[in-house]
Structure 1
Amino acid sequence: MFNGLVTSLRTLTVLPVPGRDAHDFSDSLYWFPLAGLLLGLLQAVCGWAVVHAGLTELAAAAVLMSAVLLTRAIHADGLADLADGFFGGRDVDARLRIMKDSSVGAFGVLALVLVLLAKWAVLLPLLESSAYTWIVSGVILARSSQVLLASLMPYARSGGGTASGFVRGAGGVHAIVSLLLSSILLFILFSSSIVPVLLAQAVALAVTSAMALLSMKKINGVTGDVLGASSEVTELAVWCAGAMFFQLV
């Protein structure tokens, strides 16, 4: 079972992890929220260190840069490919073909710039409020969103692809475990305060559901790019919810 943890860390991070990969890649989905916890903590520490050096604006950039370095920008790449395919292709085949192309088009560049700019902007108030828990929670729920999409939706490519091993072996149990584990982690992070936990989970589920509907409409399923894009957008949405939460309380 712990081989799934090895595979999840090797898939989602660049960290050197000893051990053997899981026989079924889908077994790693159980551990995605935990991998998100590790990534989120590392990103939050980077932000905290720069904030305490008196450079809050640079701290927001440090959180984003650490994410890129720790994940080799795998999810940002998915966001760019999804934007190019979904908005540049006229039918399902064209969209899937564009998404598989390694080059980045105008839609992809715009999506990356807008999402990264929005993340930087929303990280500023979170860091100023020392809301590191919200930063970590966003990263956890971003990975949980991937599990939900992989577990509950069909794989869009008939010939297989990078994420096919994760999607085709996944099912409802993976989704339930991911939801439970992410909820437990958030409950611990927020010191048993139920309101922020429910808010963060609700926002993440809403974004994931919207991504599922859009993906079904555009390509009749999911691909690795869809999972990566969902991670990026969910993370941003949860951070936005955190920033608004601090304005209201």
Structure 2
Amino acid sequence: MLDGLRFAFGTLSVLRVRVDRWDRETAGRAMLAAPLVGLVLGGLAAGAGALVAWRGGGGLLAATAAVAALAALTRGLHLDGLADVADGLGSGKPAEDALRIMKQSDIGPFGVLTLVLTLLAQLAALAGEFGRSPGRGALAVLTAALAARCALAWGCLRPVPAARPGGLGAMVAGTVPPAGALAVSALCVAGLCAAAVTLGDWRYPVALTAGLACAWLLLRRCVRRFGGITGDVLGAMAETAGTAALLALALTR
């Protein structure tokens, strides 16, 4: 598991971690350990947002600080994947051409529009939570970060193939047993349930579950459209899960 943790932090964050093993077995363990990455990065981003809110910066500025921190701590990896998948799905081209579009370094109109709307939704939802209290805003950030990383395990289930050889997608595709993905998601839900009991607010575990459901729908669409997953698909799933969790919080306030 130590190799899996190193793989997870070295791949999914900017934190300087030495990765000693780069194989499919370690990749599967890394995807199961991804929620721990979410816990660390989400905690850092939540702290940034809560500090701004506590200093009187207001909900919107606190939300901006949290979203910016998460993007910086991941090098914008998941946002880039979301934009590429939006371009691939929006192109309407056959799978091979769509995958080629996704691999290009530039971002098309579908990707730009999706990024703008996604970031606006995240900022609006978090601004409302930070506006209520720094603590609730911080917990919302943490919920979104956990949902995003739990989604990675579901994207790498053993029945799910890779869309093309090579790359991160091929390395992690089909490496996670369903029981493992279910277990790590259940642990995250249980942790949020403990927070819900303390706050008397059950929206957080419900929001994580809603985020995973939306990511699963995107996974099914991508597998049908592209024939499997890529690293971009996993990034898009992470952003979808996190954003959907925040929207669930906003709509059930």
Preserved contact between residue 119 and residue 236 of structure 1 (Cα < 8 Å): yes
Report deviation, 1:22. Answer: 6.1
Distance 1:11 1:19, change over 3 A: closer
Of residues 58, 62, 70, the one that matches 1:59 is 62
Structure-1 residue corresponding to 2:236: 229
Aligned to 1:122: 125
Q: Name the aligned partner's letter for residue 40 of structure 1.
A: G
2:99 to 96, 100, 105: 96
Compute the displacement of 1:198 (Å).
Answer: 4.4
2:106 is paired with a residue of what secondary structure?
Answer: coil
TM superposition score normalised by structure 2: 0.89
Residue type of the partner of 1:63? Answer: A
Amino acid corresponding to residue 45 of structure 1 in structure 2: G
Contact 1:142 1:232 in 2 (8 A): yes
Following the alignment from structure 2 to structure 1, what is the Cα–Cα distance between the partners of residues 100 and 22?
A: 30
Is 2:80 the partner of 1:77? yes
1:20 matched residue in structure 2: 20
1:240 and 2:243 aligned: no
Counterpart amino acid of residue 208 in structure 1:
A
Measure the CA separation in 2 of the matches of 1:21 and 1:187: 35
- String of CA shifts for 1:178-200, please: whole Å, max 9, x gaps: 22332233234334668335412
Q: 1:184-231 CA deviation, whole Å, 9 max, x = no partner?
A: 332343346683354124302320221122112311221111110111
Q: Which of residues 150, 153, 156 in structure 2 aligns to 1:147?
A: 153
C-alpha separation in 2, matches of 1:34 and 1:231: 14
Distance in 2 of aligned mates of 1:230 and 1:64: 17
Q: TM-score, normalised on structure 1?
A: 0.90
Q: Is the 8 A contact 2:169 2:229 kept in 1?
A: no
Structure 2: 5+ residue stretches without partners: none
Q: Which amino acid aligns with 1:166?
A: V
Partner of 1:86: 89
State the identity as a percent: 32
Q: Match for residue 29 of structure 1?
A: 31
Runs of 4+ in 1 over 6 A off after TM superposition: none
Cα distance, 1:113–1:73 mapped onto 2, change above 3 Å = same
Q: Is the 8 A contact 1:153 1:222 kept in 2?
A: no
Give per-residue Cα distances to partners, 1:130-155, cap 9 Å, x unaligned: 21212201110111011101115523
User: Counterpart in 2 of 1:174?
Assistant: 180
Q: Which moved more, 1:102-111 or 1:213-222?
A: 213-222
CA contact (8 A) 1:156 1:219 kept: no
Q: Does 1:50 align with 2:57?
A: no
* Conserved 8 A contact 2:150-2:212: no
C-alpha contact 1:153 1:221 (8 A) present in aligned 2: no
Aligned partner of residue 31 in structure 1, secondary structure: helix
Alpha-carbon deviation of 1:98?
A: 0.7
Task: Give the Cα separation in 2 of the matches to 1:184 and 1:4.
Answer: 23
One-letter identity of the residue aligned with 2:44 = L
CA distance in 2, matches of 1:153, 1:103: 31
Q: Deviations over 1:61-114 (max 9, x none)?
A: 111110111000000000010011111141111111111111111111111111
Counterparts of residues 199-218 of structure 1 (less than 5 Å): 199-218=206-225
Aligned residues: 246
Give the 3-state SS of the residue equivalent to 1:162 in structure 2: helix
Cα distance in 1, alignment partners of residues 20 and 195 from structure 2? 30
Q: Tell me the distance in 2 between the aligned counterparts of 1:126 and 1:235.
A: 15
Change (3 A) 1:90 1:168: same
